[in-house]
Chains A and B, each alone.
Chain A
């Protein structure tokens, strides 16, 4: 299973020799529909991303994003409905505001803000989802893999 994640379907490899691993938290009403449609159309997508459906983007706390980074995930995408089109009383506005605050924190400790994408209203159509994922991967491939980052920290402490 893990081996699959190392190389994408086109055989494209990043500088570090493996495809970045990405978690996509997709809102059930918009993001997930786009992701499903992209799958049905057999769109050319990089391997190594996993979509986790959630009821609403506001279900995603910053803690979940941080936890993903700490377990060696290279990038996190949070997809929600249009700002103004949320089914749950503008809940995605709170997500937008709250998660936007995560950018300065990640930048402070040196996690590039390219690793985290917060996007609303995209991915209702499969080509938009495709474009988003492909461009996110292009950004990620210029960065060093995240597990090397946490690895250097652990080896410094003589662990693992």
Chain B
């Protein structure tokens, strides 16, 4: 039995038992998969699992606009589940009103996304496969390694193609701020193409520094093919190394940058011979 049939059986059961009022998934009724909220068990036969689709923002809007007792199930992948957890942590979504039906990605999908964790916490569907280390991939290596000057040239060349469609921001499951700083003339001048490489892209990337779940939504959405997700990798690695924190994996743990150094200490950079510079050991 394929995992599509498994998924249909699970969703059907949940809807028949009235545990959930609706299940968000991909429906392929008219030869084209579209996101759809299945509300009755008969509709479930059109449920499909491919291609990859990020439901987190959609789910957030559905839950917000539906009655208070509406419970939504979501058929989603590992990255999507992490995004949902991040939204819950930021009070954008009520934990009690969603139910995750987790699906593990295939190895091909994990390689396409450069995903380090291509499975949800509890995979109801499919088999867990090993993640990909982005530093091992040839395409990513070119952007992450080498001399500073080479990286600068490579990134300037890539980012100069930006047409400032704001697709990276809109597709990101966690970019939910209203108002957005990228629409403020103080930070990014509007109507200027290409976007100011340093301010537009780095402000966007930094706002997601401790929130990015590496879903690859920005890279997939980019119409000119800038590998935007690679900007996040160094920051994610830094968080993992210093605080053993990975966004979206633990619903009970807030981002370590929100607490002080007494609660979660980090390694402190220290310039030799520079008095008191960034030295924490004496103070704490």
Contact surface of A with B, Cβ cutoff 8 Å: 62-63, 66-67, 69-70, 82-85, 90, 93-94, 96-98, 100-112, 118-122, 128, 131-132, 135, 149-150, 152-153, 156-157
Contact = CB atoms under 8 A, between A and B. Distances in A.
A98 B257 contact: yes
Contacts of A107: 148, 151, 234
B156 interface: yes
A155 B126 CA distance: 50
A150 B197 CA distance: 8
A153 B153 CA distance: 9
30 contacts: A62-B203, A63-B187, A63-B203, A70-B196, A83-B284, A84-B280, A84-B284, A85-B283, A90-B260, A97-B257, A97-B266, A98-B257, A100-B238, A101-B206, A101-B210, A101-B238, A101-B239, A104-B234, A105-B206, A105-B235, A108-B234, A109-B198, A109-B231, A110-B149, A119-B278, A121-B279, A121-B283, A149-B152, A149-B156, A153-B156
Contacts of A150: 197-198
A interface, over-half SS: helix
Interface string B149-166: 111111111001000000
The dominant DSSP class at the B interface is helix
A38 to B, nearest CB: 14
Given A97-B266, A101-B238, A105-B231, A66 B209 contact: no
Given A82-B283, A90-B262, A108 B151 contact: yes
Given A83-B284, A105-B231, A109-B202, A118 B262 contact: no
Given A110-B153, A128-B275, A157-B194, A83 B257 contact: no
A102 B206 contact: yes
A109 B277 contact: no
Nearest to B197: A153
Interface residues of B, number: 56
A96 B278 contact: yes
Contacts of A97: 256-257, 261, 266
A156 B247 CA distance: 37
B152 A110 contact: yes
A103 B237 CA distance: 12
A69 to B, nearest CB: 5
Given A84-B284, A108-B234, A109-B231, A122 B199 contact: no
Interface in B255-277: 256-262, 266, 268-269, 271, 274-277
B203 A132 contact: no
Contacts of B197: 70, 150, 153
A110 B155 contact: yes
A105 B144 CA distance: 10
Contact of B276 (A70, A96, A111, A121): A121
B99 interface: no
A25 to B, nearest CB: 15
Contacts of B237: 104
Contacts of B196: 70
A150 B196 CA distance: 9
B199 A70 contact: yes
Contacts of B144: 108
Given A70-B196, A107-B148, A110-B152, A122 B187 contact: no
B230 interface: yes
Interface in B188-233: 194, 196-199, 201-203, 205-207, 209-210, 230-231, 233
Contacts of A119: 274, 276-278
A70 B262 CA distance: 34
Contacts of B206: 62-63, 66, 101-102, 105
Contact of A104 (B201, B235, B269): B235
